[in-house]
Amino acid sequence: MAILLKNIHKSFGHVNVLRGIDLEIPDNKVFCIVGASGAGKTTLLHIMGTIEKPDQGEVLYNGVSVFGQSDKQLSIFRNKHIGFIFQFHHLLPEFTALENVCIPALISGQNRKETEEHAAEILQKLGLEERLQHKPAALSGGEQQRVAVARSLINNPDVILADEPSGNLDSDNARDLHELFFKLKEDFGQTFVIITHNDDLADLSDQKITMKDGLLI
């Protein structure tokens, strides 16, 4: 899916966090957003992901403006089409790796048994077949983040939005995670938008933009 952002503005109180962003994210690319802390990257990603609404401007997926929908329709759209990966994995501590991966599919009302089989398949693909029944605390940082990647994939999203996904990983685990993104792009044709401070990843990406003070430079 291609994503188009038109003249996005967003303020929190008196702070103008986004000051008119126009951006086109092509389909089936790894697209990186870089820039200093506080530049507005996370806010932009949340608006792109429909978690947050802009004060002004439009977000279009394959040419269709998304914020015209009701909140309910929007959450269905998001659950179906967008996968999220956060800096801190945000796995639920009381649930196993397998259960965590299943959650977005169960929310969308899919069959539990089929979902568990699919989740196990994805976890296996990510090299976690020995970790299905482990809870997050029993996993390494790299493993936790791969479980979060598996969870983002469970509903076969068209777009994956990742906010500093390798920010807490050592360089080997970061490299493995980055290779995984490119492999998934090849295998499944997904669009990746990744905020990163990692120069290796930004340099490998198909396209890179830099944000500064709420604008693209």
CB 102 within 8 A of CB 127: no
User: Of ligand ADP, Mg ion, none, which one sits near residue 138, judging by CB under 5 to 8 A according to partner kind?
Assistant: none
Question: Cα(33)–Cα(116) distance, rounded to whole angstroms?
Answer: 33
Number of helices and strands in the chain (H, E): 7, 10
Q: Which of 7, 26, 38, 55 binds ligand ADP (CB under 6 A)?
A: 38
Q: Does 203 bind ligand ADP (CB under 6 A)?
A: no
Q: Which positions from 42 to 81 touch ligand ADP by CB under 6 A, shown as an x/- string?
A: xx--------------------------------------
Q: Which positions from 149 to 168 touch ligand ADP by CB under 6 A, shown as an x/- string?
A: --------------------
- Furthest-apart CA atoms within the chain: distance in Å: 50
Q: Is the dihedral of CA 5, 49, 31, 171 positive or negative?
A: positive
Question: Cα(7)–Cα(54) distance, rounded to whole angstroms?
Answer: 10
Q: Which of 3, 40, 54, 154 binds ligand ADP (CB under 6 A)?
A: 40
Query: Tokens in use for 80?
Result: 């179906």
Nearer to ligand ADP, 17 or 216 (CB): 17
> Site residues for ligand ADP, window 9-28 (CB under 6 A)?
12, 15, 17
Query: Tokens in use for 50?
Result: 């429909």
Question: Cα(182)–Cα(177) distance, rounded to whole angstroms?
Answer: 9
Query: Tokens in use for 79?
Result: 């659950």
Q: Does 100 bind Mg ion (CB under 5 A)?
A: no
Q: Which positions from 34 to 63 touch Mg ion by CB under 5 A, shown as an x/- string?
A: --------x---------------------
Q: Does 39 bind ligand ADP (CB under 6 A)?
A: yes
CB of 130 to ligand ADP, least distance (A): 35
* Cα–Cα distances in angstroms (integers) from residue 71 to residues 31, 42, 76, 154, 183, in the given order: 27, 21, 9, 22, 33
Q: Where do contacts with Mg ion occur on this chain (CB under 5 A)?
A: 42
Q: Where do contacts with ligand ADP occur on this chain (CB under 6 A)?
A: 12, 15, 17, 35, 37-43
